[in-house]
Structure 1
Amino acid sequence: MSERHAILVDPADKRERVDRLLVKNLPTLSRSRLQGLITTGQLSVDGKTIDNPAFRVKPGQKLLLEVPPAVAAEPEAQQIDLDIVFEDPYLIVIDKPAGMVVHPAPGNLDGTLVNALIGHCGESLKGIGGVRRPGIVHRLDKDTSGLIVAAKTEAVHQALTELFAARDIERAYQAVIWGAPSPAKGEIEGNIGRSPRNRKKMAVVRRGGKSALTRYQTLKSYAQGAVSLIECRLMTGRTHQIRVHLTEKGHPLVGDPVYGRVSDAKLQRLPPDARLAFRDFRRQALHARILGFKHPITGKTLKFESKLPPDIKELISSLEPV
């Protein structure tokens, strides 16, 4: 279980950096560990999430820090079936199913893509790009399905990381959303950071955060615009970017338990036969359909496509007349 530490700011600590204050009050935790906890949204001040270690405190403020249980230093190999789309001595492309976590974290210590990759590629993968996330260059949320690439050598990991940083990667997602965007094709821009109201959520924020840009186009609308199938292309790669941007625009993803909870009003706009399917859909209807990049070693342009998984296909089929 997580540990919780509550600290009341003393007048003597006025204007102190919050990370330094935590070091003073929690000597068993290193400053780097505390900074990591802060940046991942584990700290609240008077109930508001703070993700900046340089935040200056005021006397009387109440700090609440949640420290998740420790994760094993090195993930272990596990024999887990993988849907391998492409593999060579340098990298591997996987079609990840919904429900699989990418790397171990509190609450999901095994059964992850990283465990499966080590099991498939062998011990040589360990340490590539970092001990806890070997080979991982980018990530998909647990309940987002689709294409993900991992590096099998340190040089390729660095090269792919640079491609992602330079936005020289083609990434297209398909999503089922509530409503019909207007215009049908466009851009959504807005900095993304931790929600000040809920540390477990991301949000478009007015101050701070990281710049984010999503381009979208509507592929088809159903039930007089009650639901739409859209394609999104990421110009940046922020946490929950598509989910947050579409929610900000008023069109959350169907099935999203964090940003798009279903309502009776939304369901009533659907054909009767579709209501049950949409009400019971238990994950965000988001699929990483296209992944394209230049191979760091061979120089060949690679492009992979993944079909919509059966659960999203069935969701869409419930809206289409037989």
Structure 2
Amino acid sequence: MTFREKSNSSRSVTSEQPSQALKICYRGSFLLIAEKPAGLPVHATLDPHRKNFADLVQAQEKLPYLRLVNRLDLDTTGLVLFCTDPEKNKEADEILSQAEKKYLCIVNRIPPEKSFREECFLKDGKGRVTAVRSGGKKAITDFKILSTNTASNISILEAALVTGRRHQIRFQIAAAGFPILGDTVYTPSDFRIKKTVPIPNRSLLHSYLLKFKTEEGIFARAISPLPDDFQKYLSFFPGISLPN
């Protein structure tokens, strides 16, 4: 992992476009779950020459049809759910809405409560979301502290989505006063970070668990291990770890 200087200037995310086969975590009759690396857009962008995750998965798996059911931000790694049958899109959306969806993130500061819930109404804007009193969509996330490092004043949190809005986790945890390390969009410009904390070149947010009821009515789960750069970053902080 590379690190950037402690400044408020914007940066380009280092692309981690896959040099090897993309990992498929689940295959069903019309569902597929794959692991997205950082720096790779999940769908097509305005640049027709830029690779994107959905196209790469479709090409690798030689699928005539593939539709994104959930989306991850450019920096975010981990599990993405696809529908592989155009006649099953509604069923796929319903499966995702009922699924257990959990993320891991490294944040600045240590929340005072072991577990807490954040609720607000979010409205999409240009490149970011904002909280509004009316006209937005309800956003709910349950957070839990998994590990902390008091010397550097950082925490590893688990974030469980109750709703699934754009930038939901990133916005809510920053608004609560604990921005995700590496998130230049929602970390306040005057936010002070300890000098002992190296700044990652991307937002350290990882979609690690999808637990759901399959199309056959069987409960299943997909788990994505932490990517190498996330694990390497944790090695800078003795004593901080994830429970098994």
1:192 to 90, 98, 122: 122
CA distance in 2, matches of 1:261, 1:312: 22
1:152 to 77, 84, 102: 84
How far apart are 1:145 and its partner, in Å?
0.4
- Aligned residue for 1:149, secondary structure, equals strand
Q: 1:288 aligns with which of 207, 212, 218?
A: 207
Cα separation, 1, equivalents of 2:160 and 2:191: 30
Give the Cα–Cα distance (whole angstroms) in 2 for the partners of residues 109 and 242 of structure 1.
Answer: 30
Q: Paired residue for 1:255? A: 182
Offset of 1:313 from its aligned partner? 1.2
- Find 2:102's aligned residue among 172, 175, 178: 172
Q: Is the 8 A contact 1:247 1:259 kept in 2?
A: yes
SS at match of 1:159: helix
Question: What secondary structure does 2:133 align onto?
Answer: coil
Residue 242 of structure 1 is matched in structure 2 by 169
State the partner residue of 2:9.
Answer: none
2:221 corresponds to 1:303: yes
Contact map agreement 1:255 1:262 (CA 8 A) in 2: no
Aligned partner of 1:101 in structure 2 is 41
Paired position in structure 2 for 1:317: 235
For residue 177 of structure 1, what is the amino acid of its counterpart? V
Structure with the higher fraction of residues in helix conformation: 1
Query: Identity over the aligned pairs, expressed in percent?
Result: 26
Q: 1:107 to 1:202 in 2, by over 3 A?
A: farther
Conservation of the 8 A alpha-carbon contact between 1:189 and 1:213: yes
Q: Secondary structure at the match of 1:118?
A: helix
Contact 2:25–2:223 (CA<8 Å) still a contact in 1? no
Seen in structure 2, the aligned counterparts of structure 1 residues 287 and 135 have a Cα distance that, compared at 3 Å, is same
Aligned amino acid, residue 257 of structure 1: T
Tell me the secondary structure at the aligned position of residue 231 of structure 2: helix
Q: Which residue of 2 aligns with 1:227?
A: 154
Query: How far apart, in 2, do the equivalents of 1:229 and 1:92 lie?
Result: 28
How far apart, CA to CA, are the structure 1 residues paired with 2:124 and 2:191? 29
Corresponding position of 1:142 = 74
Higher relative contact order (CA 8 A, sep 6+): 2
Question: Quick one: which amino acid aligns to residue 171 of structure 2?
Answer: V
Query: Quick one: distance in 1 between partners of 2:229 and 2:182?
Result: 11
Separation of aligned partners in 2, 1:184 and 1:259: 22
Q: Which structure has the larger Rg?
A: 1
The 8 Å contact of residues 41 and 51 in structure 2, kept in 1 or not, is answered as yes
- Quote the residue 1:218 is aligned against: 145
Following the alignment from structure 1 to structure 2, what is the Cα–Cα distance between the partners of residues 262 and 254?
13
* RMSD of aligned alpha carbons: 2.3
AA matched with 2:43: H
TM-score by length of 1: 0.64
What does 1:43-122 correspond to in 2, within 5 Å?
81-107=21-47, 110-122=50-62
Contact preservation (8 Å) 1:204, 1:245: no
Which residue type is aligned with residue 82 of structure 1?
A: L
State TM-score, norm by structure 2. 0.83
> Which structure shows the higher strand fraction?
2
In structure 2, list runs of 5 or more residues that go unmatched: 1-18
- The answer to whether the 8 Å contact 1:80/1:111 transfers is no
Name the SS of the counterpart of 1:104 in structure 2. Answer: coil
Change beyond 3 A, Cα 1:194–1:92:
closer
* Structure 1 runs not aligned, ≥5 long: 1-78, 126-133
Asked whether the equivalents of residues 255 and 285 of structure 1 are also in contact (C-alpha less than 8 Å), the reply is yes
Size of the aligned set, in residue pairs, is 222
